[in-house]
Structure 1
């Protein structure tokens, strides 16, 4: 059908749609080729009858010639927005139908001409919907008129069914009813107009010519030499890619092109994994911090009840501990400024001895008296030595052995002068 395109090394499927597709019945012409292999060609009634491997191939679709008007325009602007607004008015004499229902694809040429392809939006949507529903990897849509091989300084034409496809340039051409004995009237009129504009071709190259066609008769009617090519137009073409793509403009954003999205799939999967990993890490960290918070709250509650046994209900152990300490300091007078430093130093030592429990405390005469309980093997002298190592003076007031434990009272102070004996 057509020469293989550069499709990144993958298989290629060229598909020619019949008139009225997908609603009318007609033959689908196809050519499937894998790089380095022989081409396979055939016909199909439906997309589901395409050859095996079509779903993995890049699909180049050739649309019915009569459904797209190929023309030219010149506009005094280079602004894309202004061109899009002005094209419907500049071509209104050549168009049938509401411009709002038409899709205008255009390309700027080197001489500032605009090559324009006009197709019904409804028709484009019907084509793309049917092809995407068939899970084909749609690469391009191009009028089949431009599949005819273009010879330098010549026009080319090909018989396809009951139509004659005429290609006048890289992005221009038209279609007319096929005729064997005499050239179509539309072709004669187009050549006469080109002759008046001094743009007449040097010859007309014919592909797929019927057996009864007489080149001399056509030549006398057209006024230009006619050359009949034996190879099919599919074998003679040298263009690796369709010259235009009706998906390249407005429809490109609305057509699901899986091939175009494929490079982003890896990044999307990586992003998804990162998001899931972050959520899992955050959830794990939240659970760890929640456990630490619960443990700290339980420890503060235990200390609060050990130090202030009269507290029955604990709502916020940290706040209640602070309030009770402030109340205790207030009851002892503003001058007793040694209480908090004594308690802070004693707390550090007691935390290092987790088996020692505090049953109560009392502050008087700048001395802190602790009521403690520790296991029998532990030595009271070792605890006193640890307290004095922290910078405190420790005095054992009483030691009462019990079953497996020892209850004792320790007086702590910081002054070198022993405080007066308080009530014990």
Structure 2
């Protein structure tokens, strides 16, 4: 038992008990002892502070129960007394789970964790987007390089070793302009009117172009032989000389090789 000025606290077991107001404490304890019957304790220990004004009628509680009164010098003595009777294995640790004690550094880190996750996610998306753009540009560059190579091969089929098609094409064009492989003006005078006719000819595809020694050689596919003859006459109407070097019909189309020179 512990008696203060306003309360009477009663411990029934190691970790069980209750508290009642000081005025009715004596009657409540007396009734509890009567209800306990044979299981009522034979000894009660009453702790109270020195100078406490509350009085408990000990003699009227239970005639056959020994009551020992002990005075406490200060309230801290009661705390020490309670601590001495605690059993650690029976205690409930409240400092766990959400209530676990954490230091300030951990608490601040948890506070900034969502922002850090978002920042990492943004950086990851940026890097992923950059990699995707790089791969796209790389594919476009390779495709453009292949197209340049194909165009160079069509324009200059006599060149067997292709290292840098763009640089080689620029060199060839400069050579044409300087007249080292024929006059560029002569090439233009043959190719421009011929290309205009081929462009306006239906179902006609230009496959290969070469120019050498003042002669323009074109390899193309056309729908039929009659259309090839019509194409020849149309180019000749541009004051050019056209020679059909070959004409092979297969798969509903005609593959032909034309040689074009200046008109006489």
User: Please, what TM-score do these two structures have when normalized by structure 1?
Assistant: 0.31
Greater helix content: 2
State the structure with bigger RCO (CA 8 A, min sep 6), 1 or 2. 1
- Greater Rg by CA: 2
Normalised by the length of structure 2, the TM-score is 0.47
